[in-house]
Structure 1
Amino acid sequence: MKTLFPLNPRMILFSIFAAAAVCMVYGCSLGPEYQRPDIKVAVPDRYDNASGATEPIENRITGGDRWWLEFGDPEISRIAGEVLKHNWDIRRAAAVVAEFRAGLIISRSDRFPTTGLDFSAERTHRKVKSQTMGDITIGPSGRVIIGPGQTRYTDTTEDFYNLSLPMSYEIDLWGRIARANEAALADLLAADENRRAVTHSVVAETISTYLELEALERRMVLAKQNIDNHTSALKLVEGRYNLGLSDVLAVRQAKRALAQAQSELSPLRQALGETQQALAVLMGRYPETRPPRIQSEDYFKRLNPVPPGMPAELLRRRPDILAAEAALQAANARIGEAHAARFPRISLTGRFGYASSDLDDLLSSRRQSINYGADLLAPLFNAGRLKAAENATAARYDRAVADYAKIVLTAFSEVEGALLRRKELLDKRDRILNLVKEAAATLEAAEMRYQRGVSGYLNVLEAQRANYSARESLVMADLSILTNRVSLHRALGGGFN
């Protein structure tokens, strides 16, 4: 029976090469193409709690992400620069980026042929059996008689040398390798954005820690001033007691107030030391402490007003959002990779080399050999393993979408929250300034009335506590405003000019 379409090996190889060429030119990649998912959240044109200039925040972002320069403090700039050089979390994040960059090179190598050098030398020792004839004699009747022979074993040695260049190349017929490269590149982008996110977080934590350190030093100045005031007040009360103008209860009350003021200094020293140690660790140094610095009372400087912004721009600049989207792209590419793994794989193999039993004659042209062929590996039965693997990659993509949506909403919440707190904190500070003014006036009036004998010393103690509490509240309000600005820069993923 004659077949209509005879199977010709050359035609099969030609068909394979033609299909491979078409797919390489036109990009036969299975799986869905990436599109940014719709998280179904109505994003406003501007932040609800933004106020001030009319230029959007994102139009004023500094290109180098050196948002801490806005504070105008050389010490903050110095600390930030040292953290960028010596912080171990940042170094670790950079090492992760280097790891994924090497992984991308490994993944891309699958798109190119692989070749190697194979040299082997073999020596075989064996015994060769040989049979010798016996003596030949002629008998009385004239018949030839052959005597018994001997069996001999001779040691022989055979050498064999082989030198070849094996080559192999997998034709990416369905885009499996291309999708793997796409996923590896997205992983690298995600790692790099995570490095930026870590850098922002570490610098923000460092600056917030430094601001807390300054606030503790100012609170220690207030605590020492409070001790001095109570010491002076005790001398005044004791002087009036010695003159018979005051009773012993006032003396006891003054001593109790002084003891309480002195007891408040030790926790501040402890907190200052712990904050200094934490700052040293962030800067990559040994945790150490030092005496508090003297802080001036006129230290607070109002920062530039926050301009309104476009929340949609946040999706294109905040590193953790960009990292989440890169992870989405990687998960999407792996769906195509898993889908392509269910189709046959075609590999081209070849070997060019020499083989000889004489090393001196190994590279002779008559010892040359060339082998080439094609391998096709098609999955026939795997109990649903490949299908389950594809379903698993699709589920991981859905999980990445959920992570992305949560990160985006969290970012919007952090920005809106920082803007809301800023307005309230600035209003609170204005009210505390009025409180400080009234507390100082109340203390002055209470001391005047006590010295004149119009009121008791308890009113003076109450006024002293209220004055100290108001001044300390002002320090804490200033700290909240400054750290809130740090949180805003961290939420925005950068600063503005």
Structure 2
Amino acid sequence: MINVKRPILQLRLYVAFCGCAALAGCMVGPDYRTPPAPPADTTYTAAPLPEQTASAPGAAGLPQRFAPGQDIPGEWWALFHCEPLDGLIRQALTNSPNIVAAQAALRQARENFSAQAGGTLLPSVDAQLGATREKLNGIAFGQPGVSEEFNLYNASVNVSYKLDIFGGARRELEALHAQIDYQNYQLQAAYLALTANIVTAAVKEASLRAQIEATERIASDEADQLGVLGQQFDLGGVSRTAVLAQQTLLAQTRATLPPLRQSLDQVRHQLAVLAGMLPSDPALPEFRLDMFSLPETLPVSLPSTLVRQRPDILAADAVLHQASAQIGVATAALYPQITLSASYGAEALAPSQVFKPGSTIWSLGAGLLQPVFHGGQLSAQKRAAEAAYEQAGAQYRETVLLAFQNVADSLRALDHDAIGLRAQTDAWRAASDSLDLTRGQYRVGGVSYLSLLDAQRQYQQTVTSLAQAQASRYADTAALFQALGGGWWNAPPSAPPPH
């Protein structure tokens, strides 16, 4: 006799399995798509940039040529050709607490994803051993007055699995993976911010040293001039007013030194902390303007590729992706949830009988949970997730706009810096020549002492402004590399690798 029930049962099981597999492939909520790239434009500013900037005498006055579409090197700070700066940045990338914290946050996000993936996509299996002392009352069995005490031992393996029919668990994993991407780009942003801050601080230190040295030279010249005036006053050649005016000018010049030295100390302390060192560490190198070389070629990424390079834009994209996945999580909570469970083990009154034949116990179960009424909680959670996605989208667009603004500001600053340095150099030369000429004329009585004082003040102002203008070219060059993303995607093997 042919048993037709067995093939029919197998067919039903196969159909049920296929149905569960088909349902498990369904994922509610929107499928995330990366926001479209900006228009394929070739410029960041309304007015076109010159092919190269203006030039001025000196190392800081070299003309810089813009190279649209050229890629940025991973170690962009090496373009300044300053070995102490390169060594300090390498030390900072290893010792900076901010970098260590960002790396730990990335590892945490990865482990959270692994923990959720293992507990969601795979069944949970637990082994259990137990022993209890129980007392039964016969009233429950219709035998009052009868009671019995006994020990009960059991050993079992329990298996449970929650079917992800509507993709809520997979959307949760998608959100956690987006969190990994976010922490990864946050790490790259920490690398970029650290290197840019060190370059900017080193340039500022060099500028302050140049200003202090120039001010000290001016103060020395003014002290010499005061000595000459004192001798002339003793001989009756000048009035007391001229001596007092020179004393006032010398005191004013010297009064500018303590704030400059305070700023220098603060920058030195900042550099030490950025490098993961104590401010008292004597190993911190000193920086001067003549230690830097101005990069003559400036790679400028195309606007269409900027959104794929800037870590802050990519991090905002990951936040938007995470918000999109959370919509699917909130939507799946509105639908039924099916849980399968099974257990197999043994139970006996004595430990020696637990694994003997006849003590086997087992169970199979399935549960269906359909939310019916939660006071509007689940629908509100879905609407909140949609609002969070809209907020993340607006923040992403704002991040893109600010990135384009950063690049445009840096490009314009480089152009204006070059013009300003040339004008400041001309002003310094004119003030220097004017001071030399006025001094000579004053010695022979051709001009009054007020003219000499005015020439000294103008020269002092141009010397300080010239050092600041030279430093601006280096600092704004570093700002451009930072605004373009810093070239972390081209990091060499010796640098901290992108994750």
Q: 1:269 to 1:313 in 2, by over 3 A?
A: same
Listed one character per residue, the Cα deviations across residues 429-450 of structure 1 (whole Å, up to 9, x for unaligned) are 0111111111110000000000
CA RMSD of aligned residues (A): 2.9
- How much has 1:21 moved relative to structure 2? 1.8
> Secondary structure in 1 aligned to 2:32?
coil
Match of 1:211 among 199, 203, 212: 203
Distance 1:243 1:69 in 2: 60
Residue 216 of structure 1 contacts residue 271 of structure 1 at CA under 8 Å; is this kept in 2? yes
Letter in 1 for 2:280: E
Distance 1:401 1:189 in 2: 17
- How much has 1:323 moved relative to structure 2? 0.6
> Secondary structure in 1 aligned to 2:254?
helix
Determine the structure 1 residue equivalent to 2:142. Answer: none
Match of 2:245 among 237, 253, 261: 253
- How much has 1:474 moved relative to structure 2? 1.0
Residue 221 of structure 1 contacts residue 294 of structure 1 at CA under 8 Å; is this kept in 2? no
Q: 1:21 to 1:292 in 2, by over 3 A?
A: closer
Listed one character per residue, the Cα deviations across residues 309-354 of structure 1 (whole Å, up to 9, x for unaligned) are 3111001111010011111111111112211221111111000111
Residue 115 of structure 1 contacts residue 168 of structure 1 at CA under 8 Å; is this kept in 2? yes
Equivalences for 1:34-73 in 2 at 5 Å?
Answer: 34-37=32-35, 44-48=41-45, 50=49, 51-52=51-52, 55-57=67-69, 59-62=70-73, 65-73=74-82
- How much has 1:491 moved relative to structure 2? 0.9
Determine the structure 1 residue equivalent to 2:17. Answer: 17
Match of 2:194 among 202, 215, 220: 202
The number of equivalent residue pairs is: 461
Distance 1:297 1:282 in 2: 20
- How much has 1:23 moved relative to structure 2? 3.6
Match of 2:27 among 6, 29, 53: 29
Distance 2:369 2:287 in 1: 75
Residue 97 of structure 1 contacts residue 191 of structure 1 at CA under 8 Å; is this kept in 2? yes
- How much has 1:369 moved relative to structure 2? 2.2
Letter in 1 for 2:68: P
Distance 2:407 2:122 in 1: 47
Q: 1:387 to 1:225 in 2, by over 3 A?
A: same
Q: 1:46 to 1:108 in 2, by over 3 A?
A: same
Distance 1:292 1:450 in 2: 46
Equivalences for 1:319-398 in 2 at 5 Å?
Answer: 319-398=311-390
Structure 1 residue 119 corresponds to structure 2 residue 116: no
Residue 13 of structure 1 contacts residue 374 of structure 1 at CA under 8 Å; is this kept in 2? no
- How much has 1:495 moved relative to structure 2? 4.5
- How much has 1:482 moved relative to structure 2? 1.3
- How much has 1:202 moved relative to structure 2? 2.4
Distance 1:242 1:249 in 2: 13
Determine the structure 1 residue equivalent to 2:402. Answer: 410
For CA contacts below 8 A with separation 6 or more, give which structure has more relative contact order. Answer: 2
Letter in 1 for 2:17: F
Residue 277 of structure 1 contacts residue 289 of structure 1 at CA under 8 Å; is this kept in 2? no
Gaps of 5+ in 2: 1-7, 53-64, 140-144, 491-499
Letter in 2 for 1:196: Q
> Secondary structure in 2 aligned to 1:365?
coil
Residue 20 of structure 1 contacts residue 172 of structure 1 at CA under 8 Å; is this kept in 2? no
Q: 1:466 to 1:299 in 2, by over 3 A?
A: farther
Gaps of 5+ in 1: 1-7, 130-152
Identity of aligned residues (%): 27
Listed one character per residue, the Cα deviations across residues 59-115 of structure 1 (whole Å, up to 9, x for unaligned) are 4222xx322111111111122112212222222222221221111112212110001
> Secondary structure in 1 aligned to 2:297?
coil
Determine the structure 1 residue equivalent to 2:98. Answer: 89
Q: 1:471 to 1:428 in 2, by over 3 A?
A: same
Distance 2:283 2:262 in 1: 11
Distance 1:29 1:154 in 2: 57
Residue 217 of structure 1 contacts residue 292 of structure 1 at CA under 8 Å; is this kept in 2? no
Distance 1:174 1:373 in 2: 21
Distance 2:230 2:28 in 1: 92
Deviates more, 1:478-487 or 1:294-303: 294-303
Determine the structure 2 residue equivalent to 1:100. Answer: 109
Q: 1:212 to 1:90 in 2, by over 3 A?
A: same
Residue 80 of structure 2 contacts residue 295 of structure 2 at CA under 8 Å; is this kept in 1? yes
> Secondary structure in 1 aligned to 2:210?
helix
Match of 1:472 among 451, 464, 467: 464
Residue 71 of structure 2 contacts residue 300 of structure 2 at CA under 8 Å; is this kept in 1? no
- How much has 1:245 moved relative to structure 2? 2.9
Distance 1:474 1:55 in 2: 27
Distance 1:407 1:470 in 2: 39
> Secondary structure in 2 aligned to 1:81?
helix
Q: 1:297 to 1:443 in 2, by over 3 A?
A: farther
Q: 1:77 to 1:159 in 2, by over 3 A?
A: same
Structure 1 residue 448 corresponds to structure 2 residue 419: no
Instruction: Return the TM-score normalized by structure 1.
Output: 0.86
Distance 1:34 1:292 in 2: 48
Residue 46 of structure 1 contacts residue 308 of structure 1 at CA under 8 Å; is this kept in 2? no
Residue 130 of structure 2 contacts residue 154 of structure 2 at CA under 8 Å; is this kept in 1? yes
Letter in 2 for 1:22: A
Distance 1:213 1:383 in 2: 63
Listed one character per residue, the Cα deviations across residues 148-177 of structure 1 (whole Å, up to 9, x for unaligned) are xxxxx9996522101011110111111111
Residue 218 of structure 1 contacts residue 295 of structure 1 at CA under 8 Å; is this kept in 2? no
Letter in 2 for 1:118: Q
Instruction: Return the TM-score normalized by structure 2.
Output: 0.85
Distance 2:286 2:17 in 1: 79
